Amino acid sequence: MRKSEVKILVIHGPNLQLLGTRQPGVYGKQSLAAINRLLRQDAARTGARLTIVQSNHEGEIVDAIGKAKGAYQAIVINPAAYTHTSVAIRDAIEACGVPAIEVHLSNIYAREKFRQTSLIAPVCHGQVSGFGVLSYRLGLQAAIHAVKT
């Protein structure tokens, strides 16, 4: 690994392991593995190194964020359903002090009322929502930008 390499933690929240078959009209046809491959290609091009985790468990996500300080310079997170419910993930991001970018495949503001509130966004650097896989790619670019500037 090059010393100057930017290390980024990518976190996929609950049910995202089902991408590809889960409501493809809403979340697209690409599998999580395909999305991760694209992100790794983007990262390699820009000199970033990714660690990618997916968890259906709130506590595991909190643990991963809690260990991020010192190990990663930025976090890209799709908290999935926890976006709308998790004070614990919000507090973990706020406490760890590592800049985080929130991403969503779908436009959460154009969906059901309960999805239109993110408890996570206020403690993030920014949010990308509604562009499918491009949301992740833009989120990754934003994370690298946040580190380098």
Among 30, 55, 73, 78, interactor with ligand DQA by CB under 6 A: 78
Minimum distance, C-beta of residue 104 to ligand DQA, in the bound complex (Å): 4
Q: In whole angstroms, what is the distance from residue 30 CA to residue 72 CA? A: 27
The nearer residue to ligand DQA, 86 or 106, going by C-beta atoms, is 106
Residue 36 binds to ligand DQA (criterion: CB under 6 A) = no
Closer of 49 and 115 to ligand DQA (Cβ): 115
Among positions 95-114, residues that touch ligand DQA (CB under 6 A) are 104-106, 108
User: Which of 34, 81, 88, 134 is in the footprint of ligand DQA by CB under 6 A?
Assistant: 81
- The answer to whether residue 27 is catalytic is yes
Catalytic residue among 12, 27, 72, 125: 27
Catalytic residue status for 104: yes
DSSP assignment of the chain: --TTPEEEEEEE-TTGGGTTTS-HHHH-S--HHHHHHHHHHHHHHHTEEEEEEE-S-HHHHHHHHHT-TTT-SEEEEE-GGGGGT-HHHHHHHHHH---EEEEESS-GGGS-GGGS--SSGGGSSEEEESSTHHHHHHHHHHHHHHHH-
Binding status of residue 118 toward ligand DQA by CB under 6 A: no
Sheet of strand 48-54: strand arrangement: 48-54, 6-12, 74-78, 100-104, 126-129
Q: Is 54 in the site for ligand DQA (CB under 6 A)?
A: no
Q: Does 90 bind ligand DQA (CB under 6 A)?
A: no
State the residues that interact with ligand DQA by CB under 6 A: 15, 78, 80-81, 83, 104-106, 108, 115
